[in-house]
């Protein structure tokens, strides 16, 4: 500091001796408040690092408040209570613009990543864990590009050409990596919309499989026949997906046919006959068991029941046990199953009907 500058500074201090202490007090209070919020945010973030609740998301954002931003914001506040030299005020304004834009970008990035972690929940260790690097890069590029444009615009730079260039570059990159980004956003759609999760049994098209892993580009499933099925996320979401894991019960149907000569009373009591066979299996409940049609081969019937089991092997075992018990119950009541048969009636030259079976022997 030179001897010529010292009187100017002393003169400035004397001019603002009343308002400057107030500004310093307000700035100190704001710095203390922001430091307190950052401490609270750090504690909330440590208590919930996976952002399973909104408190964890807010804590993650507050914990990223920078000390540089606090100091520059405090200086900016102090200058509102004093009248500094123009060049110094302009320098502080530029510095505050740069620091505030970068701090806003950091807050925005942490908010987006925190919301993703909160929404994904227990999938964080698998899918989101693999996607974190790419997601962080995309979010960083987006927020800091906006911050750069804001900074340059506030500095008086014409950003029209820059924005146009970024837009053209983004379009070129998007077209070049259209398939990759399509599957990436499909993976994020699966994570957010949650049509299925890892471990769920799903059916799409003619394939029934268990979801093993949801990746950035593909989803890996284990088919019921044992082989691994790898589907692109975009192609998978284009199908109609049946998620068996979200159903409380599975409806099973057993169709059978009784002979035409079956006792009517027994046919009318099919529900009571089938109930012990069905409800003897754990988690199974009879819905109906009745005749549905009189067919050419016999009386068509169906036994419908609900099974609360979700495992495919358990469902198959229960159905086998129900069929076996139902056959025993029908046999006990004298109800025989019909075979696919056809009876043909013919006539002789004189037009007299010829029976297809021998007439009963005369006594």
**Could you state, in order of their start, the residue ranges of all structural domains in the chain?**
13-121+140-154, 187-246, 250-332
**CA contacts within 13 A on the Cβ side of 156:** 3
Q: Reduced to 3 states, what is the DSSP secondary structure of residue 260?
A: coil
Q: Which fold has domain 250-332?
A: Alpha-Beta Plaits (3.30.70)
Q: What is the pLDDT of residue 125?
A: 47
CB 34 within 8 A of CB 10: no
Tokens 């994904």 found at: 120
Residue 349, both tokens: 């030259």
Structure tokens at 333: 């009541």
Write down the number of H helices and E strands in the chain.
12, 10
Residue 358: its pLDDT value, please?
65
- Provide the residue-wise pLDDT of the chain in tens; the chain has 363 residues: 444 445 555 655 555 666 667 777 777 888 888 888 889 888 888 887 777 777 878 888 888 888 888 888 888 877 777 777 777 778 888 888 888 888 888 888 888 888 877 766 555 445 555 556 667 777 888 888 888 888 887 777 776 766 676 677 666 666 655 566 677 777 777 777 778 888 888 888 888 888 888 877 788 899 888 889 888 888 888 888 888 877 788 889 999 999 988 888 888 999 999 999 999 999 899 999 999 999 888 899 999 999 988 777 888 999 999 999 999 999 988 898 988 776 677 776 777 777 666 666 665
CA distances from 284 to 3, 40, 179, 275, 324 (A): 97, 52, 46, 10, 15
If we measure between CA atoms, which residue out of 26, 120, 110 comes closest to residue 63? Answer: 110
What pLDDT score was predicted for residue 117?
74
On whether the CB atoms of residues 236 and 154 are closer than 8 A, the answer is: no
Q: What is the pLDDT of residue 26?
A: 77
Please name which of 270, 248, 275 lies closest in space to residue 257, comparing C-alpha atoms: 270
Helix (H) or strand (E) holding 166: helix 160-176
Whole-prediction pTM value?
Answer: 0.52
Query: How many other CB atoms sit within 10 Å of the CB of residue 356?
Result: 9
Structure tokens given for 188: 């994020």
Q: Are 267 and 299 in contact (CB under 8 A)?
A: yes
Confidence (pLDDT) at 254: 93
Write the CB contacts of 273 (distance below 8 Å, at least 6 apart in sequence). 266, 289, 326, 329, 330, 333, 335
Instruction: Could you please state the CATH topology (level 3) that the domain comprising 187-246 is classified under.
Output: SH3 type barrels. (2.30.30)
């Amino acid at each position: 500091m030179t001897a010529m500058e010292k009187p100017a500074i002393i003169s400035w201090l004397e001019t603002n001796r009343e308002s400057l202490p107030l500004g310093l007090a307000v700035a100190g209070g704001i710095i203390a408040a922001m430091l307190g919020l950052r401490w609270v945010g750090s504690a909330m973030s440590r208590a919930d690092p996976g952002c399973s609740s909104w408190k964890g998301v807010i804590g993650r954002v507050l914990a990223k408040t920078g000390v540089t931003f606090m100091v520059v914001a405090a200086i900016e506040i102090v200058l509102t209570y004093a009248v500094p030299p123009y060049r110094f005020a302009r320098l502080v304004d530029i510095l505050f613009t740069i620091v505030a834009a970068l701090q806003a970008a950091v807050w925005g990035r942490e908010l987006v990543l925190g919301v993703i972690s909160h929404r994904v929940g227990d999938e964080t260790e698998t899918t989101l864990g693999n996607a974190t690097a790419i997601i962080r890069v995309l979010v960083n590029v987006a927020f800091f590009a906006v911050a750069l444009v804001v900074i340059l615009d506030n500095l008086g730079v014409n950003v029209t050409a820059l924005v146009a260039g970024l837009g053209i570059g983004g379009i070129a990159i998007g077209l070049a990596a259209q398939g990759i980004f399509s599957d990436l956003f499909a993976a994020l759609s699966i994570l957010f919309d949650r049509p299925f999760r890892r471990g769920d049994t799903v059916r799409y098209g003619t394939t029934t499989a268990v979801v093993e892993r949801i990746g950035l580009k593909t989803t890996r499933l284990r088919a019921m026949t044992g082989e691994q099925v790898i589907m692109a996320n975009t192609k998978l979401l284009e199908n109609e997906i049946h998620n068996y894991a979200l159903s409380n019960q599975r409806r099973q149907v057993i169709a059978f046919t009784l002979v035409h000569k079956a006792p009517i009373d027994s046919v009318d009591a099919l529900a009571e006959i089938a109930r012990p066979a069905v409800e003897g299996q754990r988690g199974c409940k009879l819905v109906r068991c009745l005749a549905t049609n009189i067919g050419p081969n016999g009386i068509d019937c169906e036994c419908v029941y609900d099974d609360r089991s979700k495992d495919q092997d358990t469902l198959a075992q229960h159905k086998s046990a129900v069929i076996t018990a139902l056959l025993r119950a029908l046999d006990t009541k004298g109800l025989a199953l019909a075979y696919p048969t056809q009876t043909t009636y013919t006539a002789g030259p004189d037009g007299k009907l010829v029976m297809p079976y021998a007439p009963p022997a005369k006594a």
